[in-house]
Chains A and B, each alone.
Chain A
Amino acid sequence: MTTATHQHDDRCLDLFKKLSEYIDQELDKATCQQIEQHIKNCPPCRACLETLKTTAGLCRRIEEAPVPVALSDRLKKMINEMTV
């Protein structure tokens, strides 16, 4: 693959498939090293990896909405009926 046009060969596609597993530390050491070596010389894949990490990180930081009072009341009523 060349960085000038970023033509993807089979090797590049094979590593691209594994970027999420790399982020999640689910790959063996040898494959991690292959990815690290690849992204050193491939700015588009490096940018993809960094933005993918940010994407996953943002999902993990979405704040939770509070439970509506009406739902809590509904659940309490249901439980009272079930447990009496």
Chain B
Amino acid sequence: MPTSPRKSSTKNNSNDTELVRAIQSGRIDLYQELVSRYERKLYNFGLRMCRNASDAEDLVQDTFLNVFKYLNGFRHEAKFKNWLYKIAASACIKKRRRLKHAPDQTLSLEDFLPGDEAEMARKAPRWATIPLEQLLNEELADMLSDTIHALPDKYRIVAVLRDVEGFSTAETAKILDITPANVKVRLHRARLFLRDKLKNYFEHDHSHPSA
């Protein structure tokens, strides 16, 4: 059976709504509480999206600056968290566009079709059978983080929002102003790209992951 997608927290959103409404009604002294609630999430989003920690810090600061500036215009039509990430994602995309000279590489589905000898085995490879909490160690986490950075931008932002941050397909589509179908296509190719790198890591560098 397929695995369940991560569920968003209704309680957190309800808490956010109360806090944001209080700030909108004049309690700007509560803005620090809103920042404290999301600074770690946003900083980590920045680390996944930017090339270095300094750029991630700038992203967090710019995002909270813009949130403060435009908060009175937020009408609670979306969850506050989704609006916050829309502002952060937009800042990321603009920054990358300014720095880039070449268009994003396109990942082709055909390049990821399974079929090499290692995958002709009757069973799934060992690394796919070990419980995730046992499989994930510091070295693997570092390797995975580096591989996420190696994804072309348009795939990376979708993979980060969907698989790292836990937004749904519909939420990710709204945050990025793209269609849900586009989110699905990009996510699948991003996962296949990451899967390929993990496969190489386990087959060539760590052929006996500890159980």
Contacts and interface: CB of A to CB of B under 8 A. Distances in A.
The dominant DSSP class at the B interface is: helix
Interface string A2-23: 0101101000010011011111
Contacts of A72: 39
The dominant DSSP class at the A interface is: helix
A20 B28 contact: no
Which of under 10, 10 to 19, 20 to 34, or 35 or more describes the interface residues of A? 35 or more
A76 B34 CA distance: 12
Interface residues of B, number: 61
Nearest to B142: A62
A6 B120 CA distance: 8
Most A CB within 10 A of own CB, among B47, B119, B164: B119
A8 B6 CA distance: 32
B40 A67 contact: yes
A51 B124 contact: yes
Interface of B: 2-6, 28-29, 31-32, 35, 39-41, 43-44, 47, 53, 57, 60-61, 64-65, 68, 109-110, 113-115, 119-125, 127-129, 132-133, 135-136, 140-141, 144-145, 148, 159, 163-164, 166, 169, 184, 187-188, 191-192, 194-195, 198-199
Given A24-B169, A43-B121, A47-B123, 6 more contacts: A21-B184, A25-B4, A59-B163, A65-B43, A70-B57, A79-B68
